[in-house]
């Protein structure tokens, strides 16, 4: 039994003990997310429009991680709508960043590793880079959306007389508390994955201005920035959507 199987077994045991049925479902949801991503990539490889597959992928990932884990209720519906709406709002910024930053295609470092293979893989690399950034953005947005909608929902259950404005303000307060933490999570996750390469750059005596202008470094920084922007935008959208759906339910 190798290290991967041992770690997965430990993860399954801990999630089962601490999360019960929800923990078990969460564990298998990890594999379901991978299957969805794998099938999406297969469709892209076989010529499916990348933008359409990107939209379908976003819908499926949001639905699986919200409805499958937390059920279909007002807080998950609000988080789902907020996640998709935020992702759609970010499309223009992502498209602009990829084009102006010339982020598409392989970096020189990746080309050094794959120079013996053909780089003509038959995929629009600009569109595929946009899909890659959206993949990172929607994961952070989904997590933030449910984190905001859940306490607002519980607050409404505790005090159903609260108005939409009061619920919205409460959601914004929760969002402000976790904004810095969520942004740091994105920053550490992406930068940590490239830490070895950064050490390599320093060992090669790269100047700071050269490092900042490398394509690989630019991809990471722009992805981090876009993820942070998406999180900031998602906070008021989720708070407003949750407050609106909850007060509308009261009126009905």
Tens of pLDDT along 188-243?
766 666 666 666 666 666 676 666 666 667 777 777 788 888 888 989 999 999 99
Q: Are residues 217 and 110 in the same domain?
A: yes
- Tell me: do 175 and 66 sit in the same domain: yes
Residue 1 pLDDT exceeds 60: no
Is 146 or 123 the better-scoring residue by pLDDT?
146
Write down the pLDDT at residue 23.
Answer: 79
Distance, CA of 28 to CA of 15 (rounded, Å): 10
Asked if residue 53 and residue 142 are part of one domain, the reply reads yes
pLDDT by residue (tens digit) across 55-85?
888 889 888 888 888 888 888 999 999 999 9
| Residue ranges making up the domain that contains 166 | 49-251
Q: In the structure encoding, which two tokens stand for residue 209, read together?
A: 């201005």
Domain harbouring 195, CATH code: 1.20.1640
Query: Is 44 part of any domain?
Result: no
Task: Decide if 234 is inside a domain.
Answer: yes
57 with 2, same domain: the answer is no
pLDDT at 202: 67
Burial class (CB in 10 A: 0-12, 13-18, 19+), 135: middle
Q: What percent of the chain is predicted at pLDDT more than 90?
A: 8
What pLDDT does 212 receive? Answer: 67
Domain match, 53 and 165 both? yes
Q: Are residues 95 and 217 in the same domain?
A: yes
Same domain, 16 and 127: no
The residue-averaged pLDDT of 140-168 equals: 88
Residue with the bigger pLDDT between 126 and 189: it is 126
Do 93 and 201 fall into the same domain?
yes
Same domain, 17 and 60: no
Query: Contact, 64 vs 33, CB < 8 A?
Result: yes
29 and 92 together in one domain:
no
- Please name which of 35, 27, 8, 231 lies closest in space to residue 136, comparing C-alpha atoms: 231
- Range list of H helices, 194-214: 195-203, 208-212
Q: Are residues 31 and 57 in the same domain?
A: no
pLDDT for res 29: 83
**Euclidean distance between the first and final Cα of the chain, in Å?**
57
Report the predicted TM-score, pTM, of the whole model to 2 decimal places: 0.80
- 240 in any annotated domain: yes
Q: How many domains does the chain have?
A: 2
**Residue 102 confidence (pLDDT):** 67
Q: In sequence order, what are the residues at sequence separation of 6 or more whose Cβ sits closer than 8 angstroms to the Cβ of residue 45?
A: 123
99 lies in the same domain as 27:
no
């Amino acid at each position: 039994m190798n290290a991967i199987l041992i770690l997965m077994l430990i993860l399954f045991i801990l999630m089962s003990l601490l999360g019960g049925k929800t923990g078990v479902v969460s564990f298998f949801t990890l594999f379901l997310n991978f299957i969805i991503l794998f099938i999406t990539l297969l469709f892209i490889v076989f010529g499916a429009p990348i933008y359409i597959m990107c939209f379908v992928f976003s819908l499926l990932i949001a639905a699986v991680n919200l409805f499958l884990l937390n059920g279909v209720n007002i807080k998950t519906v609000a988080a789902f709508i907020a996640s998709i709406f935020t992702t759609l709002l970010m499309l223009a910024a992502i498209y602009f960043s990829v084009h102006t930053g010339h982020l598409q295609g392989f970096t020189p470092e990746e080309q050094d590793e794959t120079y013996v293979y053909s780089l003509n893989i038959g995929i629009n690399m600009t569109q595929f880079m946009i899909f890659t950034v959206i993949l990172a953005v929607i994961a952070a947005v989904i997590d933030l959306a449910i984190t905001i909608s859940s306490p607002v929902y519980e607050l409404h259950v505790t005090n159903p007389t609260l108005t939409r404005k009061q619920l919205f303000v409460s959601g914004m307060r929760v969002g402000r508390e976790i904004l810095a933490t969520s942004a740091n999570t994105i920053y550490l996750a992406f930068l940590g994955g490239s830490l070895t390469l950064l050490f390599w750059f320093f060992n090669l005596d790269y100047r700071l201005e050269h490092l900042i202008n490398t394509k690989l470094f630019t991809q990471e920084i722009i992805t981090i920035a876009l993820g942070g922007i998406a999180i900031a935008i998602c906070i008021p959208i989720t708070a407003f959507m949750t407050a609106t759906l909850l007060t509308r339910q009261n009126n009905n």
